[in-house]
Amino acid sequence: MRIVDHLSELESESIYIMREVASQFENPVLMFSGGKDSILMVYLAYKAFYPAKIPFPLLHIDTGHNFPETLMYRDQLVERFGAKLVIGSVQEAIDQGMVSEEKGFNASRNGLQTTALLEALEKGKYDAALGGARRDEEKARAKERFFSHRDEFGQWDPKNQRPELWNLFNGRKNMGEHFRVFPISNWTELDVWQYLSQEEIPLPSLYFAHERQVFEREGTLLADCDYINKRPDEKVFNEMVRCRTIGDMTCTGVWRSEAKTVEDIIKEVSTTRMTERGGRTDDKRSESSMEDRKKLGYF
Amino acid sequence: MSNNHDGNGLLRFTTAGSVDDGKSTLIGRLLYDSKSIYQDQYEAIERVSERRGEVGVNLALLTDGLKAEREQGITIDVAYRYFSTPKRKFIIADTPGHIQYTRNMVTGASTANVALILIDARNGVIEQTKRHAIISSLLQIPHLVVCINKMDLVDYSKEQYEKIKSEFEQFASKLDVVDVSFIPISALKGDNVVSRSSKMSWYEGTTLMYYLENVHIASDQNLIDNRFPVQYVIRPYSEEHHDYRGYAGRVAGGTFKVGDNVIALPSGFESKIKSIQGPKGNQMDTIPPESVTILLEDDIDISRGDMIVRPNNQPEATQDLDLMICWFDNNKSLVLNGKYAIRHSTQEARCIVKGIKYKMDIETLSRDVDNPEIKVNDIARVMLRTTKPLFVDSYKRNRITGSIILIDESTNNTVGVGMVI
């Protein structure tokens, strides 16, 4: 008897969700951060609708504080799949006075992304935003549905979520409301890497070990860049590192690593004892910092 | 965590339980022993447990993800946890066990291959045990594993284990469950969870982990009745693929092969399968739960909501449904003659409640036939009439083509779920 292996089952589940989105919504969009999970999402979307083009644009919320490698990779990917790219700009939101820049040493534009994201969703009249969040990433995300309802303010109400049973998804909503949809909810970090390896998907260089100027803050290594105010005692040094997640430069920790290939990374991920978001300073602001941001509409 | 799963695939199992029956300890042990808890996660819950003055590390804090849950010390919602061993990947749907969370248990059970039922060896079969077993049977979870826990507190007594086992068997004979296994364990001490207990040499069965890694689930899917609900029609409209018309969907039953004669419902047009395109390219056949695109020899009109099946094995096309339902709405009861939107496979229609036959007590299985009110968490047998024919099988035969959800058209909420009798 043929057995469907676990990666194929996850792949089929994600493709099913994406097709359901294309069927149930009028104007979906795929949120693209440049990280491996959203890269996986683009590949799965390509497979779901092949040989037709991906029937929704990619939306990148640009904090203006990106690793340059992320932007280069993004533009190549868009060209390769003939996808349409929409950019929501945090800088613009700041310039228009919708939000103001955080101050101090830990200033980050991570929180400001929510405003730019909601603004971009509203402007594009998108009724479903596909995202690459996974339930194993973070405890508030573990409670997410595949189809996650957002009210007209973009807010999430975790205590009042729609039940999801079998293959049946309810995407009904009122005007002005939208859905966040998470097709790779059931994938773990290791599943993602195994799949990327199996499918030989090229990845941004940031994920692989490279030499970089870094400094240490509260036990986390951060890449040295113009966007972060260093304290006087924070010394910059050279280190062999890689990113486990890619957010903007101000909040993405880098890891000491020697992993130069996807196989090395799989080995590293299989044996590591720290969660991948352990280096994300945005999650560490409080115990429920992700839940609080998500309620307001954060990705 | 391990990096080389072999071919045992993905197993989904559900647990239900309250704070004190050792469920969290058991899940914690499975995660911890399979190295699926990270050091920083462990340290974080260690800190919180200490701050609250709890003795030991409270592993429940791992699964209770929402602020309200942590504050109240309860699981409100279904929590999904992941772990893997070299043999298999596992998804746990962890649900609260109290009667007011029946709907959460039903949700967790809907996609599970295995139901893990915990019994405290000191207390034996209690109401909650029966409730879990009844829900597992209603939702047709193919395998039940009954863990008789806290064996350390009954001196690892074989007699106590046998007594509880026969108690459960007697009760389960009234239910529709096929495959039941029993394992005496101590989640706290680790007996028979991942490694064999040295204290229960009288027990000849496997450990829980061995059971989970090896239970045969490939035939949990219906591989006999071919069912392909069309989800989406792929039309590239490009030069290169000018006449391409692919029917995308997820196989809900049977094995479809290239060259098979098929019929499209409701139109009744027949054709042959020209090719099957999967995520990795062309394939010769496809089985559940694969998502593929089917191309037919003939250009016939098929759209979302239609179903591709074999001419000699068709589902029932009906507007009258006889269902067991579980009601989910906190605010409104199910109303006789009430109208709802109904979703089945990839179809959507409207329906009216024609009759409420009885309400079932999920602790005693007794039936209330006296015009019962159907409130949140109630299980009832109801008759619906739909605006158009749906292509259904009995839920017992196929969990995908035998299930529906009901949506309140004023709130858009999913208010009920149903299984075709």
Torsion-angle region of residue B291: left (phi > 0), alpha (psi -120 to 50) or beta? beta
Chain A hits for B349, CB-CB cut-off 8 Å, are: none
Chain A environment of B88 (Cβ under 8 Å): 6
Answer whether A47 touches B (CB < 8 Å).
yes
Is A124's Cβ below 8 Å from some Cβ in B?
no
Instruction: Answer whether A50 sits within 8 Å of B234, measured CB to CB.
Output: yes
Rounded to an integer, what distance in angstroms lies between the CA atom of residue B68 and that of residue B88?
33
Contact B82 A188 (CB under 8 A): yes
Higher confidence at residue B420 or residue A286? B420
Q: Which residues of A touch B327 (CB under 8 A)?
A: none
Give the single-character DSSP code of A207. G
A125/B contact by beta carbon, under 8 A: no
Amino acid at A237: F
Contact A4 B287 (CB under 8 A): yes
Contact A148, A289 (CB under 8 A): no
B89/A170 Cβ within 8 A: no
- Taking CB atoms and an 8 Å cutoff, what residues of chain A touch B111? 165-166
A103: contact with B, CB 8 A cutoff:
no
The answer to whether the CB atoms of A51 and B289 lie below 8 A apart is no
Confidence bin at A31 (pLDDT 50/70/90): very high
Give residue A290's Cα distance to chain centre. Answer: 13
Continuous segment of H or E residues that includes residue B276:
strand B270-278
Q: Please report the DSSP string for B303-315 in residue order.
A: -TT-EEEBTTB--
**B58 or B130: which carries more pLDDT confidence?**
B130
Q: Specify the domain boundaries for CATH 2.40.30.10 within chain B.
A: 227-309, 316-420
Q: Measured between CB atoms, does B413 come within 8 Å of chain A?
A: yes
Residues 318 through 347 of chain B touching chain A, CB cutoff 8 Å: 328, 341, 343-346
Residue among B216, B377, B414, B415 with most chain A CBs within 10 A, to mutate: B414
pLDDT digits (tens, 9 = 90+) for A34-72: 889 999 999 999 999 999 999 999 999 887 877 788 889
Lowest model confidence (mean pLDDT) among A95-109, A198-212, B28-42, B166-180 = A95-109
The DSSP H or E segment spanning B161 is helix B158-172
Distances (CA, A) of B135 to A240, B37, B115, B330, B409: 53, 30, 10, 19, 27
Rounded to an integer, what distance in angstroms lies between the CA atom of residue B353 and that of residue B334? 9
Say how many Å lie between the first and final Cα of chain A, rounded.
41
Residue B9 to residue A5, Cβ atoms within 8 A:
yes
| pLDDT in the model for residue B197 | 94
Express each pLDDT in B347-358 by its tens digit.
999 999 999 999
Contacts of A168 in chain B (CB under 8 A): 343-344, 403-405
| Mean pLDDT rounded to a whole number for chain B | 90
Q: Which residues contact A205 (CB under 8 A, 6 or more apart)?
A: A69
Q: Which residues of chain A make contact with B77, given a CB cutoff of 8 A?
A: 143, 158-159, 161
Average pLDDT over residues A7-32: 97
Q: Do B84 and A190 touch (CB under 8 A)?
A: yes
> Between chains, do B77 and A23 touch, taking CB under 8 Å as contact?
no
Cβ of residue A197 closer than 8 Å to a chain B Cβ: no
**Which of A12, A168, A288 lies at the smallest CB-CB distance from B343?**
A168
Q: What is the pTM of this model?
A: 0.91
DSSP letter string, A101-165: ---STT--STTTHHHHHHHHHHHTT-SEEE----TTS-TTGGG--SEEEE-TT----GGGPPP-B
Integer angstrom CA distances of residue A265 from A41, A53, A260, B247: 20, 31, 7, 37
pLDDT value at residue A213: 83
Choose the closest CB to B38 out of A20, A270, A274. Answer: A274
Q: CA-to-CA distance for A248 and A234, rounded, in angstroms?
A: 20
Q: Which of B140, B167, B280 is nearest to B221 (CA)?
A: B140
Q: Is B403's CB within 8 Å of A168's CB?
A: yes
| Separation in Å, CA B407 to CA A171, B3, B349, B413 | 10, 42, 10, 6
pLDDT average, residue stretch A93-108: 70
Residue A266 at interface with chain B, using a CB cutoff of 8 Å: yes
- Is B412 in contact with A170 (Cβ distance < 8 A)? yes
CB B11 within 8 A of CB A9: no
Summarised one tens digit per residue, pLDDT across range A127-162 is 999 999 999 887 777 888 999 999 888 888 877 789
Closest residue of chain A to B399, computed from CA coordinates: A166
CA distance B248 to B293: 4
**Which residues on A lie below 8 Å from B7 (Cβ)?**
3, 5
Judged by phi (left if over 0) then psi (alpha if -120 to 50, else beta), residue B385 lies in beta
Decide: helix, strand or coil at residue A259: coil
DSSP B165-216: HHHHHHHHTTS---EEEEEE-BTTTTBTTTB--SS-TT--S--HHHHHHH--
For chain B, give the percent of residues with pLDDT over 90. 68
Statement: residue B32 has pLDDT above 80:
no
Homologous superfamily of domain range B10-220: P-loop containing nucleotide triphosphate hydrolases (3.40.50.300)
Residues within 8 A of A (CB atoms), B 216-255 only: 218-219, 231-232, 234-238, 240-241, 244, 248-250, 252
Between strands A220-223 and B179-184, the pairing is: unpaired
Task: Decide if pLDDT at B129 tops 80.
Answer: yes
Closest by CA position to B138, among listed B399, B411, B321, B341: B399
Chain B residues whose CB is inside 8 A of the A16 CB are 231, 250, 291
At A276, the amino acid letter reads E
Q: Where are the beta strands (DSSP E) in B297-376?
A: 307-309, 316-327, 339-344, 347-360, 367-368
What pLDDT band is residue A98 in, cutting at 50, 70 and 90?
confident
- List own/partner pairs for B3-7 with CB under 8 A and 24 or more apart: B3/A190, B3/A194, B3/A266, B3/A267, B3/A269, B3/A270, B4/B86, B5/A5, B5/A6, B5/B84, B5/B86, B5/B87, B5/B88, B5/B89, B6/B86, B6/B87, B7/A3, B7/A5
Per-residue pLDDT, averaged over A256-272, amounts to 84
Distance from the Cα of A6 to chain B's closest Cα (Å) equals: 5
| B279 → closest Cβ in A5, A11, A165 | A11
Mean of the per-residue pLDDT values for chain A?
85
pLDDT tens across A273-285, in order? 666 666 555 665 5
Residue B148 predicted with pLDDT over 90: yes
- Cβ atoms B327, B377 nearer than 8 A: yes
**Structural domains of chain A ordered from first start:** 6-192+287-296 (3.40.50.620), 204-281 (no CATH)
Q: Is the pLDDT of residue B58 over 70?
A: no
Q: Does A161 contact chain B (CB < 8 Å)?
A: yes
Evaluate whether A168 touches A151 at the Cβ level (below 8 Å). no
CB distance from B396 to chain A under 8 Å?
no
CATH topology of domain B227-309: Elongation Factor Tu (Ef-tu); domain 3 (2.40.30)
Instruction: For CATH 3.40.50.300, list the domain ranges present in chain B.
Output: 10-220
Q: Mind listing the pLDDT tens digit for each residue in B301-331?
A: 999 999 999 999 999 999 999 999 999 999 9
Q: Which of A70-74, B204-208, B285-289 shows the lowest per-residue confidence on average (mean pLDDT)?
A: A70-74
pLDDT tens digit string along B253-274?
999 999 999 999 999 999 999 9
Using an 8 Å CB-CB cutoff, list chain A residues near B91. 186
d(CA A183, CA B364): 39
Q: Catalogue the E-assigned strands of chain A.
A: 28-31, 58-62, 85-89, 128-130, 147-150, 178-181, 210-217, 220-223, 237-243, 253-256
Q: Which of B5, B32, B67 to mutate to test the interface with A (most CBs of A within 10 A)?
A: B67
Across the range A196-220, mean pLDDT stands at 87
| CB spacing of A6 vs B413 below 8 angstroms | no
**B72–A contact, CB cutoff 8 A:** no
* Best residue of B47, B232, B376 to probe chain A, by most A CBs closer than 10 Å: B232
**pLDDT: is B59 or A94 the higher one?**
A94
The fold adopted by the segment(s) B316-420 is Elongation Factor Tu (Ef-tu); domain 3 (2.40.30)
Q: Across the strands, what pairs with B84?
A: B89
Residue B337 exposed, middle or buried by CB count within 10 Å (0-12, 13-18, 19+): exposed
Q: Does B82 touch chain A (CB under 8 A)?
A: yes
